[in-house]
């Protein structure tokens, strides 16, 4: 399945979705609330339509889970070999704040592991992409892609660059930082929105991303694939087992990207 997926075609779908988002970004858009009180805009809807239609044109046989589309019951999806996992606008809060830190996330998951991922940041035109065995890459403003190699593990460093959520900084993350400082490490802290945090670890701009609070599978899958191909790991906090997908409950546990 992965062999016949052209990564560049997924990149083009992500870019088209980003263009649809930017059409709304420059307007006086309204903000609705979903059942869980999370925000929803016309940009979410337009991006979702672009992505679903684009993926269906490529191969209509591959099922899709999207944040903006009601998920099928677990019994219907638990034995899927492959599926797309999509967040058409990750970081809606950042979109509403107009700080540019929002992304389009498209992942292909095999079983319970993401094996292809595209994360596109429309503002600044930053595109991260990866596929299993093909490496992880970043291009900016349509330039030549640069290969991502995350670098040394944060535990081996005297100075540690920690990245965390701009909108969801928790007491647990503060405790994580305090524990590093107690080990004598110099900690630099940076905040960022959406799936960009995983990408920053993948490219080596950050050393570790502790996400010690709730996220959904579509928030992380695309960037997870990129982190893996950059030589990074995404592990459940506490057990250090690999973060898995297509669970009965699509809520992620706390995790660490390192």
Local structure of 96: helix, strand or coil: helix
Answer yes or no: is pLDDT of 208 > 80: yes
- For residues 119 and 31, state if they share a domain: yes
- For residues 44 and 172, state if they share a domain: no
- For residues 7 and 135, state if they share a domain: yes
- For residues 139 and 183, state if they share a domain: no
Return all residues near 48 (Cβ < 8 A) that are at least 6 apart.
66, 67, 68, 69, 86, 88, 89
Q: Among 81, 112, 147, where does a domain finish?
A: 147
Q: Once rounded to an integer, what is the mean pLDDT over residues 7-31?
A: 96
Answer yes or no: is pLDDT of 166 > 70: no
Stated pTM of the model: 0.95
Domain around 66: 2-147
More confident residue, 82 or 171: 82
> Measured between alpha carbons, how far is 102 from 84 in angstroms, rounded to an integer?
20
Q: Among 89, 118, 147, where does a domain finish?
A: 147
Q: What's the mean per-residue pLDDT of the chain?
A: 94
Return all residues near 246 (Cβ < 8 A) that are at least 6 apart.
65, 77, 78, 80, 83, 109, 111, 112, 217
- For residues 128 and 164, state if they share a domain: no
Answer yes or no: is pLDDT of 3 > 90: no
Q: Once rounded to an integer, what is the mean pLDDT over residues 179-193?
A: 93
- For residues 26 and 94, state if they share a domain: yes
Find the CATH number of the domain harbouring 207: 3.40.190.80
Share of the chain above pLDDT 70, in %: 99
pLDDT at 168: 67
Find the CATH number of the domain harbouring 79: 3.30.540.10
Answer yes or no: is pLDDT of 56 > 80: yes
Q: 20-24, 47-51, 170-174, 232-236: which has the minimum mean pLDDT?
A: 170-174
Answer whether 246's CB lies under 8 Å from 84's CB.
Answer: no
> Measured between alpha carbons, how far is 149 from 227 in angstroms, rounded to an integer?
9
Answer yes or no: is pLDDT of 25 > 70: yes
Answer yes or no: is pLDDT of 35 > 90: no
Answer yes or no: is pLDDT of 63 > 70: yes
Q: Once rounded to an integer, what is the mean pLDDT over residues 99-121?
A: 98
Only one residue has tokens 């995983």, namely: 198
Q: What is the pLDDT of residues 66-92, one digit of tens each?
A: 999 988 999 999 999 999 999 999 999
């Amino acid at each position: 399945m992965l062999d016949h997926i052209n990564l560049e075609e997924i990149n083009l779908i992500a870019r088209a979705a980003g263009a649809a988002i930017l059409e709304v970004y420059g307007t006086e858009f309204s903000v609705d609330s979903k059942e869980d009180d999370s925000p929803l805009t016309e940009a979410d809807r337009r991006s979702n339509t672009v992505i679903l239609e684009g993926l269906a044109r490529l191969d209509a046989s591959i099922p899709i889970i999207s944040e903006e589309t009601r998920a099928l019951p677990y019994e219907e999806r638990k034995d899927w070999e492959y599926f797309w996992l999509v967040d058409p606008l990750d970081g809606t809060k950042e979109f509403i704040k107009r700080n540019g830190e929002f992304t389009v996330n498209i992942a292909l998951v095999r079983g319970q592991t993401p094996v292809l991922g595209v994360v596109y940041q429309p503002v600044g035109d930053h595109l991260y992409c990866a596929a299993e065995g093909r490496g992880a890459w970043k291009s900016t403003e349509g330039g030549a892609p640069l290969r991502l190699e995350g670098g040394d593990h944060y535990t081996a460093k005297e100075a540690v660059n920690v990245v965390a959520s701009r909108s969801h900084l928790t007491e647990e993350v503060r405790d994580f930082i305090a524990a590093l400082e107690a080990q004598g490490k110099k900690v630099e802290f940076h905040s960022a929105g959406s799936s960009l945090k995983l990408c920053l670890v993948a490219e080596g701009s950050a050393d570790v991303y502790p996400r010690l609070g709730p996220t959904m599978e579509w928030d992380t899958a695309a960037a997870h694939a990129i982190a893996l191909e950059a030589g990074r790991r995404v592990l459940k906090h506490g057990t250090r087992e690999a973060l898995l997908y297509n669970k009965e409950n699509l809520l992620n546990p706390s995790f660490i990207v390192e």
